[in-house]
């Protein structure tokens, strides 16, 4: 592991804690009984992937949710509120760790995200940490909906590697989704699967990378 010079971080459940079950609960509170048919961590309706690639607008996403749930009366605020319920928060110390790592490694953020969540995250960072965005924590940040690509597609990894002249063998990728790590491994990156109760603070404090 001492060959690592670059680190690419996923965001959800690596830096910012999220909970997919909270979204399911929020759907239920809106009277949606078929959420399991179109929404989940590992499998979901194509509208979620399209939103993460920036291929549809938030309004197009909301209209599709109304179709999938058979509830045309749902308001934009109700849909966004339930969808944003996935976010728990950034654990104390994570930002400080990222700043520490930035001084030792070239660090990057690579997140599958969408316009609705992007706005929520930035409002949260402003409210809770007086930060306008994540740019100060990394050399560069990459968001799927602004790139037109999403993990686990190889193209999104290749763009980050090529734009920053990164040697895959010297690059560590940390993510909570095994399917994303598989693509990274095929491209020659070192990988680490983040699974609860593990955290980036525990990981970096116990493996000699600090």
**Burial code of 72-102, b = ≥16 C-beta within 10 A, e = fewer?**
eebeeebbbebbbbbbeebeeebbebbeebe
pTM of the model: 0.95
The dotted CATH code for 6-16+90-206 is 3.40.50.1000
Average pLDDT, the chain: 95
pLDDT, tens digit, 9 for 90 and up, residues 45-97? 899 999 999 999 999 999 999 999 999 999 999 999 999 999 999 999 999 99
Domain boundaries, the chain: 6-16+90-206, 20-86
| Percentage of residues in the chain having pLDDT higher than 70 | 98
Q: For residues 32 and 82, what is the distance between their CA atoms, to the nearest angstrom?
A: 11
Class of the domain covering 20-86: mainly alpha
Q: Are 83 and 116 in contact (CB under 8 A)?
A: yes
Closest alpha carbon to 153 in 173, 171, 180: 180
Question: What are the E-state strand segments in 2-148?
Answer: 6-9, 17-18, 87-89, 106-111, 140-143
For residue 124, what are the CA distances in angstroms to 12, 22, 116, 127, 148?
A: 14, 17, 13, 5, 24
Q: Are 119 and 57 in contact (CB under 8 A)?
A: no
Assess whether the previous peptide bond of 20 is cis (omega < 30° from 0). Answer: no
Equal CATH topology for 6-16+90-206 and 20-86 = no
For residue 59, what are the CA distances in angstroms to 63, 81, 151?
A: 6, 14, 23
Give the pLDDT confidence score for residue 208 in this predicted structure: 85
Q: For residues 137 and 107, what is the distance between their CA atoms, to the nearest angstrom?
A: 8
pLDDT, tens digit, 9 for 90 and up, residues 90-147? 999 999 999 999 999 999 999 999 999 999 999 999 999 999 999 999 999 999 999 9
């Amino acid at each position: 592991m001492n060959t690592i010079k670059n680190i690419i971080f996923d965001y959800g459940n690596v830096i910012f804690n999220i909970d997919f079950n909270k979204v399911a609960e929020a759907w239920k509170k809106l009277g949606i009984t078929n959420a399991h048919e179109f929404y989940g961590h590992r499998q979901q309706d194509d509208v979620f992937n399209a939103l993460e690639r920036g291929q549809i607008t938030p309004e197009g996403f909301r209209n599709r949710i109304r179709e999938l749930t058979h509830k045309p009366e749902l308001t934009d605020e109700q849909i966004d509120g339930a969808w944003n319920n996935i976010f728990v928060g950034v654990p104390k110390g994570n930002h400080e760790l990222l700043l520490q790592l930035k001084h030792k490694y070239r660090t990057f953020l690579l997140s599958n995200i969408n316009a609705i969540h992007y706005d929520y995250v930035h409002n949260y960072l402003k409210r809770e940490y007086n930060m306008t965005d994540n740019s100060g924590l990394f050399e560069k940040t990459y968001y799927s909906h602004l790139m037109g690509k999403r993990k686990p597609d190889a193209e999104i990894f290749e763009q980050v590697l090529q734009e920053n002249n990164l040697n895959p063998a010297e690059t560590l990728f940390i993510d909570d989704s095994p399917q994303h790590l598989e693509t990274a491994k095929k491209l020659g990156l070192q990988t680490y699967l983040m699974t609860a109760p593990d955290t980036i603070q525990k990981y970096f404090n116990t493996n000699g990378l600090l």
